[in-house]
Chains A and B, each alone.
Chain A
């Protein structure tokens, strides 16, 4: 059983389109994250959710809208895609308020905007 799963794994789309990436975790965690990894492998936190509530928005453009229908899912919708959005997007989950446990990551979604 995959703990954190993302779909799709690859996404190629044209500039200006709207696309969504889905994330699901079966670990019972309260906290979920979205990260963006650029071509230089730099991992930047985008959003953090706790129990379906947005906790952190790291100055991400409004074109990015996360949605958490329940605490096991955190989807990422991107409007009006731009070339600079090309990156690998990772979803992760972790138990909240725990100092002694790690985060679990999905396998990533490689988004290519052409």
Chain B
């Protein structure tokens, strides 16, 4: 069953603006990860936040995690045309079996 749902499904903004994507999930998790997928390519890991963390930064990326609401957000500041891609959240659950389950993804388009 699908764990994560992302919102919005598509986002189009102007270069230089900030982009915010949200992810909700259903079960308890060990960590939540964000990945980027450029068109026709594989997934690249961006950032990981553990279940006991609330916020994490990496360069222009800021991730928040609210385990009480079972939600996370990814903020990309000062967007660039090269940020155009699909972004996926993924939740890791280690409970006997190790399972990494993806959300539906947000298609981000940065207009020059």
Q: Does B97 lie within 8 Å of A45, measured CB to CB?
A: no
Top 8 A-B pairs ranked by shortest CB distance?
A: A102-B45, A43-B102, A105-B42, A105-B43, A55-B97, A107-B42, A99-B30, A56-B97
How many chain B residues sit at the interface, stated as a range, is 20 to 34
B80 close to A (CB within 8 Å): no
Please give the distance in Å from A45's CB to the nearest CB on chain B: 6
Q: Please name the residue on chain B nearest to A41 by beta carbon.
A: B105
Residues of chain B within 8 A of A104, CB atoms compared: 45
Interface residue tally for chain A (C-beta within 8 Å) = 28
CA A104 – CA B33 in complex, angstroms? 12
Residues of chain A within 8 A of B92, CB atoms compared: 99
Of the stretches A14-22, A64-72, A76-84, A89-97, the one at the interface is A89-97
A62 close to B (CB within 8 Å): no
Q: Does B50 lie within 8 Å of A99, measured CB to CB?
A: yes
Q: Which of B61-112 contact A (CB under 8 A)?
A: 86, 88, 90, 92, 94, 97-102, 104-105, 107
Residues of chain A within 8 A of B60, CB atoms compared: none
B11 close to A (CB within 8 Å): no
A7 close to B (CB within 8 Å): no
Q: Does B45 lie within 8 Å of A43, measured CB to CB?
A: no
Q: Does A94 lie within 8 Å of B102, measured CB to CB?
A: no
B31 close to A (CB within 8 Å): yes
Q: Does A55 lie within 8 Å of B98, measured CB to CB?
A: yes
Q: Does B105 lie within 8 Å of A108, measured CB to CB?
A: no
A25 close to B (CB within 8 Å): no
13 pairs from A and B in contact (CB 8 Å cutoff): A41-B37, A43-B102, A45-B100, A48-B98, A50-B97, A56-B97, A90-B43, A94-B98, A94-B100, A99-B94, A100-B50, A102-B35, A105-B43
